[in-house]
Structure 1
Amino acid sequence: MIFLIALLITMYLIVSYTSIYTIKMRILDFLRIILGAVFVVFIFITLMHLGTIKYWIALLALSLFLNIEISNYKFKFNDKKAKLILDIFSVIMAVMIIVLCAIYM
């Protein structure tokens, strides 16, 4: 299950950064939002058997989703310093989700 979560996070990050930084297509923006919502729901459903930690990991997944959407907003206004900080936080949050899921599953 950890492999599926890591694969979904990797796929989400690749689609997100492709749609934000390289290819400007409306379908990729739509795919980014749908994939983010699927990612948050998948994390919550996968960790349903855990106690209260499932809420914290789901909130971390939701914050990753919102962080990437804020990254898109900052890219439109060419805020380079904020983009770099948000990108670093995105990678750190993705690693935290994988580690927490590996520990508690």
Structure 2
Amino acid sequence: MFKERKLYRVEIIKECRSYTKYSLLGIRNSSMLDSSLIKSNEYGVIPKGIKGWVVRKWGRLYFSPDVNQEGLEYFTPSEQPHVLIPFKKIINYYKRLGLEEKE
């Protein structure tokens, strides 16, 4: 139940907002050194083209983006690119790539 299980790969096909810059996640993910990023309209937005896995963990579905992609800085903490985003945030913004992990 607590183990992370990769279900299938997805790609974001439309920009989608994962949080606003004034939310708790926005404050946590902000970099004090890069104020231009916080002022950007892209802050908190998952850009088109980001790829990752839909995973099941703790009995819920999440989107886990692959690391080392351009655009991760807008919605992940700079020092921690491994994040789990609730699946409901991307539900109408992705296409399934069809790659499934074998058990």
Q: TM-score, normalised by structure 2?
A: 0.24
Q: TM-score, normalised by structure 1?
A: 0.24
Instruction: Considering fraction of residues, name the structure with more helix.
Output: 1
Instruction: Considering fraction of residues, name the structure with more strand.
Output: 2
Instruction: Select the structure with the greater relative contact order (CA < 8 A; seq sep ≥ 6).
Output: 2
